[in-house]
Amino acid sequence: MPTHRHHAPKTSASVKKRSNTKKSSKQPPTKNPARKRPAAVKAGGNPRAENQTRRNPKSTPKVAQKTTAKTTPKATQKTTSKTRTAKISTAKVTAPARAISPKTDEDTRQSFGVRHLVISASDDGQRVDNYLRKILPNVPKSRRYQMLRKGEVRLNKKRISADDRLTAGDVLRLPPTTIDEKAKHHIPRALIDKIQQSVLFNNGTYLVINKPAGFAVHAGTKTEFGVIDMVRAAYPDTPWELCHRLDKPTSGCLVFASNRDALRHFQMLSQSDGMTKSYLALVKGRWEVNHLIVDSPIEKIDTVDALETFTGDEKTAVSIFTTLETYKSTSLMQVVIKTGRTHQIRIHAARQEHPVAMDDKYGNFRWNRTLEKYGISRLFLHAHVIQFRSEDETIHVSAPLPEDLQRYIDQQR
């Protein structure tokens, strides 16, 4: 029978012995004799702490800090933390009180539901858009006209347009509106004084001022306040109403009425050719005419928030041009208008190939740049004279030419 050799199982001692044999076969790493460890490391210290001590002897090593923290009793640590908490709480008590925050946007808004207003006798004959401007002064102009287009505003339960007239006793329906009180802007005192100094006539019923150029008669999206707001701020005891309009760059006679009857009387005279409106305009070229009547219809222009749109509806427009003085390349004209269309004088002058000086809409742009060298920086159009009949007197007011325009005339003479 064959004999079988029984191998003894491998013990852990033999495994360890073999592993030691493998390890011994490897050579131990060589030590760098030039590299010496600092004494603090040999003694169990921290090399960073020793370097820090060498650089700054006054600073305390981290080892010492750790040792101090370990040797400090727990009771002492708790007491120190309580003391720090007490100091923090004291700082909160002595801090200044928080200022009261201003009103938010929601606090300055006032909302109204559907309203039905009865037209009074004082508002009889007023245009719908002008009445809406009066009762909704802080609502944007674009929103007011949107109400009319969508039929949200109704007169006696019927749709209306902006140029319809109101009658005493009518019932006007207003949709829900939100009025922002922030729209009431503060008017500087300097502008109020300027308006008071520009008064040309005031008999308690009618007020005529020499409107400064660069101010719109009404407030808008890009205009915080208009001339009408400045007049009311200058004379708060009288509810002045605007009788007619002047373009923003135009200066000269502007009329206000203190009551609805006077306003209706002025508007009636305007429509029946019962008043005289005379302008001074500087035009391009030598234009020698005597009483030239320009009867040319003008397409109606609607202005909403400084955006002008042509409606396609042409209106009759009549202007009478008369030459006062001629210069080397310009002419000073007197223009009497029989109708009051938007931009009437500027359009009629441009159609005659004699545009108004510094007219950036209908004028000659290259010529305008040349005029700037002579000190003219705005439209040369001035409402010079207005004359109309009021009860027992004839009101005749003349506004002198502003200094910047008069300076150019003096240079050319």
Q: Which of the residues are catalytic?
A: 247
For tokens 């559907």, the residue is 114
Give the 3-state secondary structure of residue 166. Answer: coil
Distance CA 45, CA 36 (A): 15
Give the 3-state secondary structure of residue 390. Answer: strand
* C-alpha angle 259-262-266 in degrees, rounded to nearest 5: 135
State the chain's maximal CA–CA distance in angstroms.
Answer: 161
Cα distances (angstroms) measured from residue 41 to each of 33, 35, 104: 16, 13, 67
Length of the chain: 413
The answer to whether the CB of 396 falls within 8 A of the CB of 385 is yes
Cα distances (angstroms) measured from residue 118 to each of 79, 123, 282: 79, 10, 48
Distance CA 358, CA 49 (A): 82
Distance CA 302, CA 145 (A): 11
The rounded radius of gyration (Å) of the Cα atoms in the chain is: 45
Residue 36, token pair as written in the block: 């010496």
Q: In what helix (H) or strand (E) does residue 231 lie, and over which residues does it extend?
A: helix 227-234
Position 134: which residue type?
K
Query: What DSSP assignment string belongs to 91-129?
Result: HHHHSPPPPPPPP-TTTTEEEE--EEEEPPGGGTT-BHH
Please name every residue paired with 356 in a beta bridge, in sequence order, or none if there are none. 283
Alpha helices in 259-371 (DSSP H): 260-271, 344-351, 365-371
Residue 259, token pair as written in the block: 């009551």
H and E: helices and strands count for the chain:
13, 18
